[in-house]
Structure 1
């Protein structure tokens, strides 16, 4: 049940407030990696330390999304958005104030994890507020703006990070403070009201799911550092998967579960979770691999690489609005299937032209890939959340975000391994052609792929890198993008076979909803 009696002007203010709140979480997914070399050199962090300065945020957010969603449904969505924004802004300020010396590494890793906690508290509650504010027939348009603008900010991270780092790397954290203040002001003005259901928190369930997601994602993150031959990788992933299985069995039948697993009986919800997992296995890794290709193979600096990714979001933001309107008019199936097919074609054509090392031959294919993703991600996410009760929108969002982050972490690990393997094989072949023995070539190739090929540290110059190395790297990324095209085609097939056509029927008022509304009125 959405909020009644809310005018369109106030709804717009609520939407703006929630977009502003979650903007910080999207920007921080990509902005820190740009400043990582300067952070490491100034704070004298170890290689592992700087890696965890990046990963601690993503790991904490992935592990705690389900907790944040449940809290928002039981303590109030607006309250949790405000708490999340304050936690995120405060931890951002403290990251920017990281002292030099022995304390630096533990300080920045700790407060990056606290940032992730803030994001996990904020995002499910913010999305629940938007869903509650708009009637079912209006949500497609509203959430198209939410996902289109907030998602587009992911591409702003590398550009903004590049400019701020020229001033000071601390600025990449401090930029969140004015954004948070604007978000809090808009929340105070718009005063979003939603129903919620006070209930005890299932802390055993929290430990199980947080531990399961954290261990699994940790294993995926460490795979490119330790290597897949290290048994600790498989042990971590297996232990995480086992905890998640125990969590699922534990939650069934509980009177106040952390996650109502009965929602997985809804076929459309399950199908959309699978579609979102496949889409996120492409979406977030795309930023990393496209940026690396732009830096090494095309010789672009961080700002130029970020501008190249804006072509992707040019297509994404336009079709996100079309997808939202289609959802309201004809349901989720058509935009999800069509978008996944268009994205598959875009990624395939993008990959096919990568060895040209010419941006002008890639531009329209980048736009096409973005258009496909924009058409399907918003409707898929919105349709999944719509399947929940109005008192469980935060919980449903927590589930979908956990699935999305889990899938992207797995994809990063697998696609990174594939890319390095192809790159290493191509370099070895090139060295053999230049006269080295096979053994020497393989040894040199292994050493090369362990090195840092980031185009001179992000300067945009590839003059010191032979063209054949740039081309070999392009072939490695090309294989990754071909796989991405196949994954999006699989997403289209899942949606085509698993979803039913037509617009979803509005939620019928339940005794639980009516009781919550009466209690609130009283």
Structure 2
């Protein structure tokens, strides 16, 4: 690979058999499939997990978000480690960390330790995924020559992204047996991935350099603080100093991280890549698209089970509408990318996504699952036109070409956006649900203090946010609770409209960002480097 410095890792493997490309691609797709499935599979099981373990209402959202936040915070680190120590080695380590964490999540004991146990091992699961994904991409790049790499990357991104659809379906089926199986299912997948990795005889290519530990710490701290502030805003209050200390403090730490990286000789993230306007636009479009994409599964799943009285299996089928549109648009977007570049696909995705989410929001209060499918498909198509084209276009603009570093940047953006979206939309959903239920109960003649107490308990229990605790000393009756649960279906649907309109706005902003894309096709970085290198002129005799 032009511009890639190979170290002793390659020399040590000169005598090893040549990489078996099909096996290598299959191994990496099996490995990363776990990371995509786990972004969505837990959402379906959320009500069962909360009920059996007795989690606090904020605890369940942290179970979902700890994975996303850890994945975002350490993704760039995973890409850098793959460059320094060899992608095959990092894939194996990441897979082992991921699957051990998955087993421990499934073995969570009941009682007071349950919440901390589950959140903690979801975070280490995210760390394993952060090691695994960029290293897996680096393997695909290393074993395929430039003339075949485009097709391999399209398959890698397309199939891996589509596997997100399996999460809700698999989660619904497994939850009918036990919710613990949504974690244990990763074990056979990991075993197959490790066996195929060994059979593929993948050589480890290393780059000389050092690890930017201070940069990794600053990134993790900044992201963690900011998401903590957004997520706890409901429990602490938007007028709380703690909320704004976390949000502002996290953003300040991220600003310090950017300033620090500019002065480091071998930074965790090479910020020079943002000088390419197309790459910057790709990153912005991915950010606003991902504000909606992963959070959608959590909110739509809970909406289906609360407002539509759906079972976990039915909720999974409800989400399948999104993936029908997503799958079709992903293929179409890939063809557009190959022929015209990323800009047309990103613009089309922004428009379709904004319109789809807005129309879907308007239908939520009809409380009919089957009437919503055209709008769910349209919203999914908008996301499908964006994710693969923007990700591939960004990777093709790698510096050096350091695919590990550049993929680390784009995936960090994606997962940080998903964590922020889940936190912000969760806070909005809880606040609006609570207000709606209070109005409903007061309209039924309940005293204001009782209505507020019941509304808080009910809204937190169905949204998975806040700081739930049983009502004490308020005179809350069983009849009042039954009235609240009867009313909550429509109140919760109306609250979800705010979330889905917010997602429509996010896709609208993605469209506006796409207008700034310069257009044109981006060749893989080494092809571009070769094109820029002048052909030597033969020396003339004499």
TM-score by length of 2: 0.83
The CA deviation at 1:276 is: 0.5
**Hey, what does 2:518 align to over in structure 1?**
500
Larger radius of gyration: 2
Match of 2:86 among 45, 54, 76: 76
**Hey, what does 2:172 align to over in structure 1?**
162
The CA deviation at 1:443 is: 6.2
Separation (CA, whole Å) in 2 of partners of 1:46 and 1:293? 19
Match of 2:238 among 223, 228, 231: 228
Q: Deviations over 1:180-231 (max 9, x none)?
A: 1111222233344575412111112122112212222232333344333332
Task: Pick which of 139-148 and 212-221 moved more.
Answer: 139-148
**Where does structure 1 lack aligned partners over 5 or more consecutive residues?**
4-8, 455-462, 515-522
Show the 5 A alignment for 1:3-402: 10-36=20-46, 39=49, 52-99=62-109, 106-133=116-143, 141-193=151-203, 195-389=205-399, 391-402=401-412
**Hey, what does 2:501 align to over in structure 1?**
482
Q: Deviations over 1:45-65 (max 9, x none)?
A: 666665554443333222111
Q: Deviations over 1:359-414 (max 9, x none)?
A: 22111111121122112210011111211135411111111122122222222232
CA 1:24/1:356 → structure 2, altered by over 3 Å: closer, same or farther?
A: same
Separation (CA, whole Å) in 2 of partners of 1:282 and 1:36? 19
CA 1:112/1:131 → structure 2, altered by over 3 Å: closer, same or farther?
A: same
The CA deviation at 1:327 is: 1.0
The CA deviation at 1:148 is: 3.4
**Number of residue equivalences:** 499
Task: Pick which of 329-338 and 130-139 moved more.
Answer: 130-139
Root-mean-square deviation (Å): 3.1
Separation (CA, whole Å) in 1 of partners of 2:58 and 2:356? 36
**Hey, what does 2:13 align to over in structure 1?**
none
The CA deviation at 1:291 is: 1.2
CA 1:503/1:242 → structure 2, altered by over 3 Å: closer, same or farther?
A: same
Paired residues of 1:220 and 1:409 also in contact (CA < 8 A) = no
Paired residues of 1:213 and 1:406 also in contact (CA < 8 A) = yes
Separation (CA, whole Å) in 2 of partners of 1:48 and 1:349? 30
Separation (CA, whole Å) in 2 of partners of 1:220 and 1:203? 26
SS at match of 1:182: helix
Q: Deviations over 1:244-299 (max 9, x none)?
A: 11111111142211111111211111111110000001111111221122112211
Paired residues of 1:342 and 1:369 also in contact (CA < 8 A) = yes
Q: Deviations over 1:337-375 (max 9, x none)?
A: 112211122112211222211122111111121122112
CA 1:45/1:475 → structure 2, altered by over 3 Å: closer, same or farther?
A: closer
CA 1:41/1:434 → structure 2, altered by over 3 Å: closer, same or farther?
A: closer
1:471 lines up with 2:462 in the alignment: no
SS at match of 2:521: coil
Task: Pick which of 159-168 and 233-242 moved more.
Answer: 159-168
TM-score by length of 1: 0.86
Task: Pick which of 438-447 and 336-345 moved more.
Answer: 438-447
**Where does structure 2 lack aligned partners over 5 or more consecutive residues?**
5-18, 465-481, 534-542
Separation (CA, whole Å) in 2 of partners of 1:358 and 1:465? 21
